[in-house]
Amino acid sequence: MIQDIYPSRLDNRFSDLKISSTDALMIFNEEGKLLVDTQSGNIRFPSVKEAAGLKNIYAFSVDKKRYFIALSEFQPFDPLFEYKTLRELRDSFGGAELFAAFTAYHLWKWYTDNVYCGRCGNELVFHESERALCCEKCRNVIYPRINPAVIVGVTKGDRILITRYRRGYAHNALVAGFTEIGETLEQTVEREVMEETGVKVKNIRYYKSQPWGMAQDMLVGFFCEAVGDGRIHMDENELKYAEWVRREDVVLQPSNASLTNEMMRVFKDGKI
């Protein structure tokens, strides 16, 4: 999965560091595309030398490499650099640099969505000692937003419930959805499967979790079993496909980055 960067290690502790000439600068445009050089077959981010003068803030480190986020847009002068979507990068690359791109986007999106205080309208400033924004007028403090969502592998014997979204991602997927106010994760599993496919479930068990910075999510994977015959009543507004598929017939996604794909793969391989 995208966060599996071992032996590299993410250090996301907050620190008020200043950028140096050897640090990577993550520059997003107003559409959320990231400025990168991929001509060498790897992802390379600009340095402060290549994009001087931009307001920036320290984000995190991977091993000894430090990443900073630019809080203003930059028009590249070097033809090697171009703006690419995270999906474009995900489809072609992997490793620590791709994970850094996803994680930086999560923080950039939070910073750009929280310029003014939602309580009094005053402009927010950086907190001095933690990853937060604060309002000097009303003392409101805002922390990075993380959206909890479930990925659900519903099984019935040697079959798994495969879906495809009506809009957006075009490849095979599993039932998924966001946790709502007052719900446990297990209740979210039951509700989302019922809403999207009409299938009741039992024996809900945790599999793994995954940070997914592209949507500011924390994905939490569960496997469960269908109750009864598992007859499908698909929500056609949400899905264009929902079928019980045998292990050997499961078609995986083209990328190994997602928790969804790993869950489909372990079922296909008979490990669940």
Q: What is the dihedral of CA 91, 97, 99, 104, to 10 degrees?
A: -110
In CATH, what number is assigned to the domain containing residue 179?
A: 3.90.79.10
Could you tell me if 123 and 172 lie in one domain? Answer: no
In a domain, 1, yes or no: no
What residues form DSSP beta bridges with 5? none
Could you tell me if 128 and 109 lie in one domain? Answer: no
Joined tokens for residue 26: 């993550």
In a domain, 5, yes or no: no
Could you tell me if 205 and 176 lie in one domain? Answer: yes
Taking only the tens place, the pLDDT of each residue in 36-83 is 999 989 999 998 888 778 899 999 999 999 999 999 877 777 888 999
> What range defines the domain where residue 217 resides?
147-268
Could you tell me if 93 and 172 lie in one domain? Answer: no
Q: In the chain, how long is the greatest CA-to-CA distance?
A: 63
Q: Tell me if 262 sits within 8 A of 252, measured CB to CB.
A: no
Q: What is the DSSP string of 20-75?
A: -TTSEEE-B-TTS-EEEE-TTSS-BPPPTTTTTT--EEEEEEETTEEEEEESS---
Joined tokens for residue 181: 């106010």
Please say which residue of 62, 90, 113 terminates a domain: 113
DSSP 8-state secondary structure symbol assigned to residue 3: T
Please say which residue of 91, 113, 135 terminates a domain: 113
pLDDT of residue 110: 97
pLDDT of residue 126: 96
Please say which residue of 101, 128, 144 terminates a domain: 144
How far is Cα 47 from Cα 36, in angstroms, rounded to an integer?
A: 11
Which residue, among 53, 69, 62, 149, has the nearest Cα to 111 in the 3D structure? 69
Could you tell me if 222 and 234 lie in one domain? Answer: yes
Could you tell me if 27 and 130 lie in one domain? Answer: no
In angstroms and rounded to an integer, the radius of gyration of the C-alpha atoms of the chain is: 21
Q: Tell me if 140 sits within 8 A of 117, measured CB to CB.
A: yes
pLDDT of residue 20: 93
How far is Cα 54 from Cα 48, in angstroms, rounded to an integer?
A: 8
Looking at the 3D structure of the chain, how many domains does it have?
Answer: 3
pLDDT tens over the chain, length 272 residues: 999 999 999 999 999 999 998 899 999 999 999 999 999 899 999 988 887 788 999 999 999 999 999 998 777 778 889 999 999 999 889 999 999 999 999 999 999 999 999 999 999 999 999 999 999 999 999 999 999 999 999 999 999 999 999 887 779 999 999 999 999 999 999 999 999 999 999 999 999 999 999 999 999 999 999 999 999 999 999 999 999 999 999 999 998 899 999 999 999 999 99
